[in-house]
């Protein structure tokens, strides 16, 4: 089964992202707006039990994640995805490193760029038009995320929560 580790921002930031995702993201109905902390990976039920224990330990050591969605950016020319850029603080980078080291499943598909996708799978011309419009709108939202989620993928491609972990530590 395919799993992933994400953080969901506050309802306010999710609602803002969804104003764009409804129109520009074909994955809108498959998962709520999120920041991917560990790319999707395959794991067995036995693996998941050990991953849950690891995530419990990690969450107990780490403080809530303070994020700042500072601007609208794009992964063009790699993909035509547009996203809210989350400032890559030392706290986020360190948290991601811990997940990669302690949950050694799957390979990172990309360099860790904290973000919340708001548009994807567009043609080049659609991307250029929409990106130009959205950049003028901009984003400047601060948020604190106090939980992370282990998700699994259903047969229809949508994602649902397997377990939630509250960030209660000091790091």
Torsion, CA 115, CA 6, CA 46, CA 160, rounded to 10: -120
pLDDT band at 106 (very low <50, low <70, confident <90, very high): confident
* Dist CA 153 CA 159 (whole Å): 4
| pLDDT of residue 10 exceeding 90 | yes
pLDDT on residue 99: 95
Work out the mean pLDDT of the chain and round it to a whole number.
Answer: 95
Mean pLDDT of 44-67: 96
Dist. CA 38–CA 162, nearest whole Å: 15
**How much of the chain exceeds pLDDT 70, in percent?**
100
Which residues are marked as active site? 34, 115
Q: What is the reported pLDDT for 46?
A: 92
What is the rounded CA–CA span in Å between residue 103 and residue 96?
A: 10
Residue environment code for 132-152, b if the CB has 16+ CB neighbours within 10 A, otherwise e: eebeeeebebebebeebbbbb
Per-residue pLDDT of 11-22, as tens digits, reads 999 999 999 999
Q: Could you give the domains of the chain? A: 2-166 (3.90.1140.10)
Could you read off the pLDDT of 150-168 as tens digits, one per residue?
A: 999 999 999 999 999 999 9
């Amino acid at each position: 089964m395919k799993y992933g580790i994400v953080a969901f921002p506050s309802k306010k930031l999710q609602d803002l992202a969804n104003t764009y995702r409804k129109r520009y993201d074909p994955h809108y109905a498959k998962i709520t707006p999120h920041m991917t902390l560990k790319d999707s990976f395959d794991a067995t039920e036995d693996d998941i039990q050990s991953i849950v224990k690891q995530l419990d330990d990690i969450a107990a050591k780490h403080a809530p994640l303070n994020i700042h969605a500072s601007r609208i950016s794009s992964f063009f020319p790699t993909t035509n995805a547009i996203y809210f850029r989350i400032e890559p603080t030392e706290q986020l980078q360190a948290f991601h490193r811990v997940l990669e080291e302690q949950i050694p499943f799957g390979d990172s598909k990309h360099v860790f760029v904290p973000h919340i996708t708001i548009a994807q799978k567009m043609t080049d011309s659609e991307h250029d038009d929409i990106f130009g419009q959205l950049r003028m709108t901009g984003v400047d939202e601060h948020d604190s995320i106090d939980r992370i989620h282990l998700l699994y993928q259903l047969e229809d491609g949508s994602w649902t929560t397997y377990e939630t972990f509250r960030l209660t530590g000091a790091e």
